Structure 1
Amino acid sequence: MFFTDTWIGFRYVDRLTVAGGGYLDGKGPAAWPYNDCHKNPGCKPLPAFMDSLKIILTSYLVSNLNYSQTLRLDFITNSRVHHLRSINSKNTHINVFACTNLSISQVRITAPAESPNTDGIRIGSSNTIKISNSVISTGDDCISMVSGSQNIDISYVACGPGHGISIGSLGRSHENNDDVVGIRVSKCTFIGSDNGVRIKTWAPSLSSLASNITFEDIVIRNARNPIVIDQQYCPLSGCMEGDSAVQVQNVIFRNIWGISQTKVAVNIQCSGVLPCKNVQLINIHLAYKGRNGHATAVCSHVLGSSYGRQIPAGCL
């Protein structure tokens, strides 16, 4: 195992089990002040032979200051990660790349809301991944699914603080521009998170597809942006003018209820050149208890429909 910027990493393992009763302490506060990825597009990612292996982590573990990702899984098949606790990773807590048939359950991930780029679980170029029965509190996405994520099932996850459960951001580079297809997020709870369920694509961007995505049976407890499709995503300064070329289609938001921290509870902003297609809002009940009236929904460049209860009033 040779990983220059990963604390614990595995590659090309079949039937791997990573489990334990202790926790992984990434000692993130020592590194967070030097993380400038939020303003520097050229920053170094924080984050790469075995046959059949079982690792049991039962003791208190402390990482070296040079490591950034706590646990990295590359090209892992038919495997399980369960009953782990990760705290204060310098960057991503669990990074999943090019894995197939992997289950992650009963994990608890913790970092402060202000910790930069501390994604809880980041998935890319992977197929048939299941995440369940976990609690994720972090400074970036609780779970992010980037290019090439397919057939992902997420259920019974509590998220907050953090940036929500996100698909994307998509479409930024030639090297990482595969389709995202077959995502289901269900029975999850968002507590004080920046976002709830979100799809984000760069603008301008290269072409790809995000399709067959379902968010259902979701509880929102004071999330700032409960339902988001953002195809004008560019968090950096000096972004170029242009539209996203990522086609977002066949997206269902169903049975989503709770309290929005902001007035705009549903915000669907799609590409001007490739409008979102077949987006459905079904039984949405999101209240806003702040000043200036009731919750609202805002939609742009989207083709879709709404059914059942719609609070706020549907914009489709």
Structure 2
Amino acid sequence: SPMLAARLIRQKITSQGSPLSPNPTTSKDTPSQNNPGQGAYDESSDGSQKQTPPVLKGACTLTGDYINNTDVSKCSTIIIDSLRVPAGVQLNLTDLQDNAKIKFQGTSTFAPMLWSGPLVLVKGKHITVTGPGTLDGQGAWYWPKGQKVTKPVFFRILNTTHSTFTGFNMLNMPYRTFSVWDSNYTTISGLKLNSSAGNGVAKNTDGFDLSRNNHVTITKNRIYNQDDCLAMQSSKNTVFSDNYCCGSHGISVGSLGGPVLNWTTTVDGLTVTGNTIENSSNGIRIKTIVGLKGLVTNAVYTNNTLINVTNAIVMHSDYNKTKGGYDGTPTSLVKITKIKIDGLKGTAENLYDIVANPDVVSDWSFTNIKVVASNNGNCTGEPSNVLC
């Protein structure tokens, strides 16, 4: 009834009980990326029963202290307003009604802890997620700890279809920001992703990373980070358009490669158009892993702008995951074919940085390249029709 809905809107999650605190010393409390829906739980050492999460209905508001695994499956609308998520706990939005609407308001925070996350997990069909709120990942706590500790992915959508995510902010990401897995016909637009407070120490804060999706569009977002603005691991029919990337490692495919060529090692159908990349180490980049198989094909880059990047066009078949960088030996078996770059302009230090395996690259086209570069750079192993 309208009165019930109104009462639920006013209800604070804190009225259901005190928040749970995870016990990170118990192995079963440590989330696993193999089970992306797993969060941390509270179980006292004397074996007492876990507190029962609340069940909400209708038009629901989550505010104050979040209780782990709050049941929102009966909510048609979910307002998340200045929520405080405890350390090691996941904001779990996976059991959603079809056509559910989620709205972020105020600033929601996630208390820091070393674990794999994700801090937010969303799964649904025909869902709409909007702002104008902010999610603060408390990155300043994580960044000084370096790259050898486990840090949580910030926000992941999983098995989501025919949905939209628009108009909210993600601040101070600990690690990878917005991860899209196994999703279809979904659009992400008008977001602001910002780890600029990290001032060069916010490593591995990729903007968007994509795996095993089909028909995902990412458009008109602003990304301030210190790793790839876009990191394509695998997916088909992806559009990345009219985004602004600052401080990043560029718009990247990879690092890509696996023991076999299959869906998880293929990027097929990538359109990158109308983006601006500023103060970044790379503009357009494809990097594949030595000794491994895969496919990058039908990638089209049109009318993109570079401002003060180090390397404009980067193609490497020598990425070594063990060393965490290029090893100078382009032995990747990942095929890179049907690559078109048309209408690239702006400023760079080096126009090209290409170290390709000539046995697996073919059918590249670079046209209307109007980048003002201090150096032409280096090209080895590129297809014979490419002059660089």
TM-score (norm 1): 0.80
- Structure 2 partner of 1:22: 133
The answer (yes or no) to whether the contact 1:24–1:70 under 8 Å persists in 2 is: no
Counterpart-to-counterpart distance in 1, 2:293 and 2:322? 20
What residue identity is the alignment partner of 1:230? H
Counterpart-to-counterpart distance in 2, 1:272 and 1:280? 15
Write the mapping of 1:58-207 to structure 2, written as runs, cut at 5 A.
68-112=152-196, 113-147=200-234, 149-172=235-258, 177-204=264-291, 206-207=292-293
- Structure 2 partner of 1:223: 309
Pairwise CA distance, 1:71: 1.2
The answer (yes or no) to whether the contact 1:279–1:304 under 8 Å persists in 2 is: no
Deviations, residues 281-301 of structure 1 (Å, cap 9, x unaligned): 10101113xxxxx43143222
- Looking at secondary structure, tell me which structure has more helix per residue: 2
Secondary structure at the aligned position of 2:120 is classed as: strand
What residue identity is the alignment partner of 1:26? G
Pairwise CA distance, 1:304: 5.0
The answer (yes or no) to whether the contact 2:192–2:223 under 8 Å persists in 1 is: yes
- Structure 2 partner of 1:296: 376
Deviations, residues 188-241 of structure 1 (Å, cap 9, x unaligned): 00111111111110113x211100001110111101111111111226439796
Counterpart-to-counterpart distance in 2, 1:177 and 1:80? 24
What residue identity is the alignment partner of 2:165? V
Which 4+ residue blocks in structure 1 deviate beyond 4 angstroms?
Answer: 172-177, 238-242
Provide closer, same or farther for how the CA distance between residues 173 and 162 of structure 1 changes in structure 2, counting only shifts above 3 A. farther
State the percentage of identical aligned residues.
26
The answer (yes or no) to whether the contact 1:286–1:295 under 8 Å persists in 2 is: no
Provide closer, same or farther for how the CA distance between residues 299 and 183 of structure 1 changes in structure 2, counting only shifts above 3 A. same
- The count of residues paired between Structure 1 and Structure 2 equals 270
What residue identity is the alignment partner of 2:297? S
Pairwise CA distance, 1:176: 8.2
What residue identity is the alignment partner of 2:142? A
The answer (yes or no) to whether the contact 1:281–1:305 under 8 Å persists in 2 is: no
TM-score (norm 2): 0.65
- Structure 1 partner of 2:364: 279
Structure having greater relative contact order (Cα 8 Å, sep ≥ 6)? 1
Indicate the RMSD between aligned Cα atoms, in angstroms: 2.2
- Structure 2 partner of 1:51: none
Structure 1 unmatched runs, 5+? 38-42, 47-67, 289-293, 307-313
